């Protein structure tokens, strides 16, 4: 199982997708974002066949955004905890990095994720966690 966090530098936006071949299903979390907003639930997420990270990346690149991707392995238990946090509520526009950090912080490979209020701080923290 791999959890992928997609980070967009040119805009105040970031999203991550959990791709799970098990019982948890796939989810794309786009906190406070406008990507397919009419299809997202109250948790700012798209599920299963609608959780299309490559399409999300293409959507961001069409607006001129520079997109960086980070991949982290997770367990089914970690995925379930992340999904539980996502379903706890949505996010206001402009707070995407803070909301993503709040969902991920303390879980599995994100156990030591630091403050992530801005997209630049999210990029710095993810690079640090990957040893870049």
Parse the chain into domains and list their residue ranges: 2-130
pLDDT level of residue 10 (50, 70, 90 thresholds): very low
Q: What is the pLDDT of residues 58-85, one digit of tens each?
A: 888 887 777 888 888 888 888 889 889 9
pLDDT level of residue 120 (50, 70, 90 thresholds): confident
Would you say 24 and 80 are in contact if contact means Cβ atoms under 8 Å apart?
A: yes
pTM of the complete model: 0.85
Q: Could you tell me the end-to-end alpha-carbon distance of the chain, in angstroms, rounded to an integer?
A: 22
Q: What is the pLDDT of residues 12-61, one digit of tens each?
A: 566 777 766 555 678 888 888 888 888 887 678 888 888 888 888 888 88
Q: What is the pLDDT of residues 100-119, one digit of tens each?
A: 999 999 999 999 999 888 88
């Amino acid at each position: 199982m791999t959890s992928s966090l997609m980070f967009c530098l040119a805009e105040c936006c970031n999203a991550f997708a959990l791709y799970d071949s098990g019982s948890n299903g796939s989810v794309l979390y786009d906190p406070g974002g406008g990507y397919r907003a009419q299809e997202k639930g109250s948790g700012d997420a798209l599920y299963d066949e609608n959780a299309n990270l490559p399409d999300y990346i293409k959507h961001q690149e069409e607006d001129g955004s520079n997109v960086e991707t980070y991949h982290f392995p997770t367990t089914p238990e970690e995925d379930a905890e992340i999904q539980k946090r996502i379903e706890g509520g949505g996010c206001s526009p402009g707070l995407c990095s803070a909301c993503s950090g709040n969902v991920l912080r303390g879980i599995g490979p994100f156990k030591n994720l630091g403050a992530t209020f801005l997209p630049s701080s999210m990029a710095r923290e993810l690079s640090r966690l990957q040893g870049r």
